């Protein structure tokens, strides 16, 4: 019997951490000879792999960076090179690895297969962070689990990591799949092809739900096996160099909205990039506690209680009645009133319903205001408002006040109804679905 091998997918766009990532993955593995990297390297002519391009474990799909069509397109190209390896791992080009990560992750996956009802487990999640400028001292040593954050204005579900109060002793069930860390049996590459028509946002929720309906179950590791860099400091991204990125993004979101029926959008089947037949999309919604039609979630999702949702098997009308709508929006506030040196200055953010009900309030103190002023240099600061409620908001208010002088500068704005791009506007796809 041959030794287990790992097919490692890396979609790298002008990635300055790529060489260090590759070397660290090989140096920290117990069996580096069993690793097979496939890299869609979207690079400029002067960028090199510092000799690693000659390593037999590395297969390159070499793409001039200005010919790139985005990360989902790149991941799809890589999957087509899968050669029957035992396991499949998808990562980015900015990672660090724990000692013996390869044997530890394989054991973790194989142990999951012994759980009742788990046939096709996937280890996935947002890995703990590291700082390339302070490595290894800049590695977060906490265990990170994978939870819900918010639903964005266009309807995309966003996730976030969280640190549990009690460290788990085994992998934790998750609703979600992560694009920067996924480890599974190799057949994932053939069964769950990443939609090349995607762009960036919606890749994770789109691919994850499709995989779940194909019978895959997600688990977040209970031990840190690797780290990921999140800041993008000094990194050139695809959207920095491609003037058509906005259109690509909008068309990808329109496709996602039609696949999931966001905001009541008519549902389309995008086979071979649609849902599977082992479990239904409706079953996923009940399992996860998320109703995509009206952007609502149950309280277990908000509290990061692992799935399945405790309401999964209640009558649908009861389930829908228990859900809260997720709202999020960046609001813009003039910089000058916030530059007032008053040490008692604060900024109050409100969202109200049509009947005047206050749905949300958040107060930012002097220290938090100063953080926004330092981080953003434009004349207007954008501040995220995110909350849950039964009612729809219709108006937001940002009101500067002083502990000594009372209320000062106020600005109001409309909270738009949920919406997003449609296929009618942008067409059905960017690339042929072949």
**Does residue 232 lie within any of the structural domains?**
yes
Task: Evaluate whether residue 66 is within a structural domain.
Answer: yes
98, 104 Cβ separation under 8 angstroms: yes
The C-alpha atoms of residue 279 and residue 385 are separated, in whole angstroms, by 35
pLDDT less than 50: residues of the chain = 429-434
CATH of the domain at 43: 3.90.550.10
Same domain, 335 and 219: no
pLDDT value of position 426: 63
pLDDT of residue 200: 87
Residues 29 and 136 in one domain: yes
Task: List the CATH number of the domain containing 348.
Answer: 2.60.40
Q: How far apart are the first and last CA of the chain?
A: 35
**What is the model's pLDDT at position 330?**
93
Using the 3D structure, point to which of 239, 273, 290 is the last residue of a domain.
Answer: 239
CB 429 within 8 A of CB 248: no
Per the structure, the complete domain to which residue 403 belongs is given by 327-414
* Residue 429 belongs to some domain of the structure: no
**Pair 345, 202 in one domain:** no
pLDDT at 36: 98
231 and 118 together in one domain: yes
Task: Report the predicted TM-score, pTM, of the whole model to 2 decimal places.
Answer: 0.93
Residues 343 and 213 in one domain: no
Same domain, 180 and 49: yes
Residues whose CB falls within 8 Å of the CB of residue 93, separated by 6 or more in sequence, listed in order: 10, 11, 12, 15, 17, 18, 21, 39
Predicted local confidence at residue 188, as pLDDT = 97
The answer to whether the CB of 357 falls within 8 A of the CB of 402 is no
Neighbours of 45 (CB within 10 A): 7
| Residue-level pLDDT at 277 | 96
What is the DSSP-derived secondary structure letter of residue 57? Answer: T
3-class SS shares of the chain: helix, strand, coil, % to 5: 25, 30, 45
Residue 208 domain-assigned (yes or no): yes
- Asked whether residue 296 is assigned to any structural domain, the reply reads no
Q: So what's the pLDDT on residue 347?
A: 97
The total number of residues shown for the chain amounts to: 434
Longest dimension (CA), the chain: 78
Domain boundary among 194, 218, 239: 239
Residues 80 and 82: their CA atoms lie apart, in Å, by: 6
The pLDDT assigned to 434 comes to: 40
| 204 phi, psi to nearest 5 deg | -70, -50
| Predicted local confidence at residue 369, as pLDDT | 97
From residue 106, alpha-carbon distances to 23, 110, 219, 373 in Å are 20, 6, 13, 46
| Residue 129 within a domain | yes
Q: Are residues 207 and 104 in the same domain?
A: yes
In-domain check, residue 250: no
226 and 333, same domain (yes or no):
no
Last-in-domain residue among 239, 273, 305:
239
pLDDT of residue 145: 97
Tell me what pLDDT residue 430 has: 43
- pLDDT of 428 reads 53
Count: domains in the chain: 2
Residue 45 lies in a domain: yes
Look at residue 265 in the predicted model and tell me its pLDDT.
92
């Amino acid at each position: 019997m041959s030794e287990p091998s790992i097919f490692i997918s890396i979609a790298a766009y002008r990635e300055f951490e790529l060489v260090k990532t590759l070397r660290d993955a090989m140096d920290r593995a117990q069996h580096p000879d069993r690793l097979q990297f496939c890299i869609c390297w979207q690079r400029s002519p002067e960028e090199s792999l510092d000799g690693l391009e000659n390593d037999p474990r590395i297969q390159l799909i070499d793409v001039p960076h200005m010919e790139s069509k985005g990360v989902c397109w790149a991941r799809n190209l890589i999957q087509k090179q899968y050669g029957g390896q035992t396991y499949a791992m998808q990562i980015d080009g900015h990672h660090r690895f724990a000692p013996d990560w390869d044997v530890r992750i394989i054991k973790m996956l194989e142990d999951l297969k012994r759980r009742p009802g788990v046939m096709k487990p996937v280890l996935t999640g947002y890995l703990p962070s590291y700082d390339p400028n302070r490595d290894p001292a800049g590695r977060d040593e906490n265990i990170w689990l994978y939870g819900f954050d918010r639903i964005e204005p266009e309807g995309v579900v966003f996730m976030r990591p969280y640190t549990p109060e009690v460290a788990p002793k085994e992998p934790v069930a998750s609703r979600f799949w992560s694009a920067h860390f996924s480890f599974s049996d190799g057949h994932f590459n053939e069964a769950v092809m990443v939609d090349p028509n995607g762009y960036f946002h919606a890749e994770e929720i789109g691919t994850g739900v499709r995989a779940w309906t194909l019978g895959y179950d997600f688990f977040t590791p209970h031990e840190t096996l690797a780290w990921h860099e999140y800041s993008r400091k000094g990194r050139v991204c695809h959207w920095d160099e491609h003037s058509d990125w906005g259109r690509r993004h909008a068309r990808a979101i329109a496709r996602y909205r039609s696949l999931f029926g966001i905001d009541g959008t008519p549902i389309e089947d995008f086979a071979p990039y649609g849902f599977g037949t082992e479990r239904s999309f409706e079953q996923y919604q009940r399992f996860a506690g998320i109703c995509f039609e009206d952007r609502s979630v149950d309280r277990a999702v908000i509290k990061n209680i692992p799935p399945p949702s405790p309401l999964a098997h209640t009558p649908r009308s009861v389930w829908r009645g228990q859900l809260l709508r997720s709202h999020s929006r960046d609001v813009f506030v003039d910089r000058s009133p916030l530059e007032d040196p008053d040490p008692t200055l604060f900024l109050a953010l409100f969202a109200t319903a049509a009947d005047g009900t206050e749905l949300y309030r958040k107060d930012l103190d002097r220290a938090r205001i100063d953080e926004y002023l330092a981080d953003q240099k434009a004349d207007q600061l954008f501040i995220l408002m995110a909350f849950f409620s039964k009612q729809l908001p219709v108006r937001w208010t940002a009101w500067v006040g002083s502990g000594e002088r009372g209320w000062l500068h106020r600005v109001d704005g409309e909270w738009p109804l949920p919406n997003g791009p449609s296929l009618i506007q942008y067409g059905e796809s960017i690339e042929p679905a072949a």
